């Protein structure tokens, strides 16, 4: 599958919001994506595109030398085909070029697909945020990749 990874623009908003809403029980409002694209200097917003259609999204916050994966999702029909992996590796490699040396993220403890993906890319569990998710009071697992330059596709 030939997927193109590029930066998210305001023209992508409706497709981005649709993927987010279909993927999360606490989706971001459209204004949050709008803010990330236009007003947040720390945000790096990416999409995966196939034949002009957006099939994956990723938002990363770059704070000094730390990359924080804020959200990542793949359109359901296109999962298990390497889309999130491509987004993740692309976004992290780009953040290395901008000076990031480590990366971290929060993930629901029940999200085995995401946990597996992150472990596969070298992230390790370094903490837990109790009752982090307000819809069901689920804990977040904090995962960290201390040596970001070990990331590989």
Q: Binding residues for ligand COA, per CB under 6 A?
A: 23-24, 72-74, 79-85, 107, 111-114, 116-117, 120
Residue 84, phi then psi, degrees to nearest 5: -65, -40
Taking the complex as a whole, how short is the minimal distance between the CB of residue 81 and ligand COA, in angstroms? 5
Closer CB to ligand COA, 62 or 72, in the complex: 72
Taking the complex as a whole, how short is the minimal distance between the CB of residue 60 and ligand COA, in angstroms? 12
CA-wise closest residue to 108 among 94, 95, 96, 125: 125
Closer CB to ligand COA, 60 or 83, in the complex: 83
Closer CB to ligand COA, 62 or 107, in the complex: 107
| 139: Cα within 13 Å, side-chain hemisphere | 9
**Environment class of 19 (CB within 10 Å of its CB; exposed 0-12, middle 13-18, buried 19+):** buried
């Amino acid at each position: 599958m030939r997927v193109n990874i590029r930066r998210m623009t305001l023209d992508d908003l409706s497709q981005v919001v649709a993927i987010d809403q279909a993927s999360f029980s606490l989706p971001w409002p459209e204004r949050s994506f709008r803010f990330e694209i236009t007003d947040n200097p720390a945000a790096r917003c990416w999409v995966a595109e196939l034949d002009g259609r957006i099939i994956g999204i990723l938002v990363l916050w770059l704070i000094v030398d730390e990359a924080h994966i804020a959200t990542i999702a793949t359109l359901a029909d296109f999962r298990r085909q390497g889309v999130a992996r491509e987004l993740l590796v692309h976004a992290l490699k780009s953040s290395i070029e901008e000076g990031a040396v480590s990366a971290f993220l929060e993930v629901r403890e029940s999200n085995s697909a995401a946990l597996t993906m992150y472990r596969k890319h070298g992230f390790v569990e370094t903490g837990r945020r109790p009752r982090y998710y307000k819809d069901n009071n689920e804990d977040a697992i904090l995962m960290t990749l201390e040596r970001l330059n070990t990331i590989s596709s």
